[in-house]
Structure 1
Amino acid sequence: MAGETHLTIVGNLTAGPEMRTTSNGGTVANLTIASTPRLFDRDSGQWEDGETLFMRCSAWDSTYSPMASNIQASLAKGMRVIARGRLEQRSYQDRDGNKRTVVEMRLDEIGPALTRNTAQVARNGNGQQSQQWGGQQAQAPAARPQDPWGGAGNDDPVF
């Protein structure tokens, strides 16, 4: 949609995803990504950590994508991830009646950062994917197809 602020962030999860079910039955995963830039100080000749950004993120299950459930099954505290989404701002009243405003990222995609990790992607039973993270596997991988991009031996797209 026009006017949205899209963002890509690379960082580590500060805690495991928190799952919540809303009063209308929706499922959401909330998580925080800590992203710390590395800056080169020419005077000292050393790399130094910059100011850490803590980005609160949310992902929802939908009828076509169990994203929140896949995140909860695949991600854990400390994992390095790459996330893409849209910044959203919302206001609410706290328990004391004060108006608060928060900015958070609504996730469109999230996955492992492969600079320091390995991952093996496997499809869930419903066609969605889960990840295996450096020896930790959330779900048993399905059998791999011979050619995931091809059709029945021709160049016709499978979609």
Structure 2
Amino acid sequence: MAGSVNKVILVGNLGRDPEVRSFPSGGKVCNLRIATSETWRDKQSGERREKTEWHSVAIFSEPLVRIAEQYLKKGSKVYLEGQLETRKWQDQSGADRYTTEVVLRPYRGEMTLLDGRGDGGSGGGGGSAGGYDEGGAGGGYGGASGGGGGGRSDLDDEIPF
């Protein structure tokens, strides 16, 4: 196989509100902490176990930063597609440090809100943005495809096979 693949897909919950910072050049970055959990039953004790992993996410795509800033909050469920990157930085004492994080760059990242719009809404879809839709028009979702607004009654529960 020629080439390689660096793609990360996460579905999880925010551990804290998004942190948005501005660069002197005018760009923005949004940092998220995403929790993903898996559960299983211990074979020896029969006890239910859970393990949570915390992921650092950096969003550099301006439309996705706007969506995260406006609609995400602690506890929000979100789908993210990005790539794994390790960066080097220096701490206050001048020592080299390394951080590995999931990065969503312009035209190479995707984010879908899974909670629906608004505070505590229990709707179907939410909003999404990413891929090649990012360069589009303004508006509430920054050129993103809209999400489902309605409640559970709008869903078709029948299995198609």
The Cα offsets for residues 88-122 of structure 1, whole Å up to 9 and x where unpaired, read as: 000011110000000000121122346xx534546
Identity %: 29
Q: Which of structures 1 and 2 has the bigger CA Rg?
A: 1
Unaligned runs of 5+ in 1: 136-159
2:17 pairs with 1:16: yes
Q: Is the 8 A contact 1:11 1:33 kept in 2?
A: yes
**Equivalent residues in 2 for 1:59-138 (5 A)?**
59-62=59-62, 66-107=63-104, 108-113=109-114, 118-121=123-126, 124=140, 127-129=143-145
Count residues in correspondence: 128
More strand, by proportion: 1
CA–CA distance in 1 between the matches of 2:149 and 2:99? Answer: 31
2: distance between equivalents of 1:47 and 1:67? 37
> How many Å separate the matches in 1 of 2:111 and 2:25?
25
Instruction: Please give the alpha-carbon distance, in whole angstroms, between the structure 2 residues aligned to 1:134 and 1:74.
Output: 17
| 2:67/2:142 contact within 8 Å kept | no
* TM norm structure 2: 0.67
Q: Give, in whole Å, the separation in 2 of the partners of 1:105 and 1:61.
A: 13
Unaligned runs of 5+ in 2: 116-121, 128-138, 152-161
Q: Give the distance between the partners of 1:6 and 1:75, measured in 2 at CA.
A: 23
Residue 35 of structure 1 aligns to a residue whose secondary structure is strand
